Amino acid sequence: MKLIVNTVADTDPVNQETEVFRVEHDHGGDPEIFTIQKKLGPNVQLRYMRTLRQSGPLSAFIEIVETLMGARAMDLLTAYDELTSEDVAAIEAIIDRYAAGGNPLALARS
């Protein structure tokens, strides 16, 4: 299995979702692609910020990955022995951009 994290800033205003990471399996076939919506509801943003404040970044990361991409995404991440801290940081950056309510287009211009 190979995990590929999206490290490219997604500034395409047409797409409603952005790829966070994909998993390519050794046996071939189509990769599993995990995405999140670019516009998250305020309730998701508030839940993320509350967990971040109450329990810290790791708990907030785990909760939001499972909320946005499902338990399968977290299962794959935790089972991937070659996961690096850089991979986790890249995934966190994408999630922070959208879950914390940031506008990636405004961030790209600043």
What is the per-residue pLDDT across 51-86, written as a single tens digit (0 to 9) for each? Answer: 989 998 888 888 888 988 899 999 999 999 999 999
Which residue has tokens 């670019």?
A: 38
Q: Where are the domains of the chain?
A: 2-109
Per residue in 2-48, pLDDT (tens digit) is 888 887 666 667 778 888 888 988 887 899 999 888 888 888 888 88
Tokens for 15? 């797409």
CB 20 within 8 A of CB 6: yes
State how far the Cα of 52 lies from the Cα of 59, in Å rounded to an integer.
Answer: 7
Closest by CA position to 68, among listed 37, 46, 31: 37
pTM reported for the whole predicted model: 0.76
Q: In degrees rounded to 5, what are phi and psi of residue 45? A: -60, -45
